[in-house]
Chain A
């Protein structure tokens, strides 16, 4: 199952956030308890927690904690144990409960840590809205952890970009971004040219020989102007392109039926796809 909140178990484990009390840096050292069943809780849990729970039975109701990995274990969740506490202003403090399958471990653990009869907050992950286990992010996530999450996401995206962009061998951010920018400009120009080629059969011959870059762009404008209906091919994808409006006069329109510069190429799409990537190199100084 996927965590709708966008944090999966990997991320949380990567945070090295454990359920040990030491790692919970709240000043009142909240503890986390895993209760396996309501009955268990009532019969066993209360027994061994005498010296460390301090609560008034009337204030609480028990709730079963679903474990992190067992998402189907929700049948017994019907009791809530909430210890009122100075920290629970919203009652929204939730901690992840590790799967201490050995309850005696729990007892040792708890007894060592909480020998004092001081009032402790027992936080049990509760999920009232849905029946499923939903992972709630503990509020003790520190800024460094947040930063690490963000950095992880960022590096994921960097890696994706690296795979998308050809010849992107260096992995540092600046290189990837730089190559991405260049690649995107290439692609955009490629698309412009190909769109024009597909639309307009009368590209002036003069434009083909000299300074293809500028002239072809002008040709593209002409074609663009001639075929406004075809604009949809260009504008959604090409952003911010400034179409200059060239004068018509110095362009000639020779008919070049006799001109066959190259033998008939293979007319398969593969051939074109292989050729097209070479395109930008023609147009870059």
Chain B
């Protein structure tokens, strides 16, 4: 995706990873997370460990969703008419 920062601005050296970079990444991660409990919470600081924790949970949820949807799609492929099946197949390449 095009919204990533350019790599040249990161990692000026292996030992020069600054706190700011990490904070920035954590903020980016936080933006991706679903904000179920804190709709208006756009404060400047988010707790990094909380973000990481929620990220782990979220990734697990996403994976599970992917599995479920895969199952559903495979069932669709088996059962539906040829038009939809063909479309799905062509999408999946």
A joins B in a complex? yes
Q: Which residues in A have their C-beta under 8 angstroms from that of B1? A: 182, 185, 284
Contact with A along B69-93 (1 / 0, CB 8 A): 1111110111011111011111111
Which chain B residues numbered 5 to 64 have a C-beta less than 8 Å away from chain A?
Answer: 10-11, 14, 17, 21-22, 25-26, 28-29, 31-36, 48-49, 52-53, 55-56, 58-63
Number of interface residues of A (CB under 8 A): 61
* CB contact between A236 and one of B4, B10, B22, B36 (< 8 Å): that residue: B36
The CA of A275 and the CA of B90, in the complex, are separated in Å by 12
Which interface residue of B17, B28, B62, B76 has the most chain A CB atoms within 10 A? Answer: B62
* Contact call B32/A188, Cβ cutoff below 8 A: yes
A83 proximal to B (CB < 8 A): no
User: Would A201 and B66 count as touching, CB distance under 8 A?
Assistant: no
Please state if A261 and B89 are interface contacts (CB–CB under 8 Å): yes
Chain A's interface: helix, strand, loop or mixed, by majority? helix
Q: Chain B residues near A285: list those with CB within 8 A.
A: 2
Output the least CB separation between B1 and chain A (Å). Answer: 6
A272 to B80, CA, bound (A): 16
Q: Is A106 an interface residue (CB 8 A)?
A: no
Q: Give the residues from 181 to 211 in chain A that come closer than 8 angstroms, CB to CB, to chain B.
A: 181-185, 187-188, 190-191, 193-195, 197-198, 201, 203, 205, 208
Contacts of A272 in B (CB 8 A): 70-71, 73-74, 77, 92
**CB of A90 within 8 A of chain B?**
no
- A154 engages B29 (CB within 8 Å): no
Chain A 203-235 near chain B by CB (<8 Å), digits 1 or 0: 101001000000010000000000000000000
Q: Tell me if B22 and A194 are in contact (CB < 8 A).
A: no
* Chain A residue contacts of B82, Cβ below 8 A: 257, 260
Known: A165-B59, A273-B70. A157 touches B25 (CB 8 A): no
- Asked, given contacts A154-B49, A262-B89, A276-B66, whether A181 binds B28 with beta carbons under 8 Å apart, the answer is yes
**B33 and A174: CB pair below 8 A?**
no
> Which residue of A174, A184, A284 contacts B21 across the interface (Cβ within 8 Å)?
A174
23 A-B pairs in the complex with CB atoms less than 8 angstroms apart: A157-B56, A158-B52, A172-B17, A173-B17, A174-B11, A184-B59, A185-B32, A190-B66, A194-B70, A195-B69, A205-B87, A237-B61, A240-B32, A260-B86, A260-B89, A261-B86, A261-B90, A272-B73, A272-B74, A273-B66, A275-B92, A279-B92, A284-B1
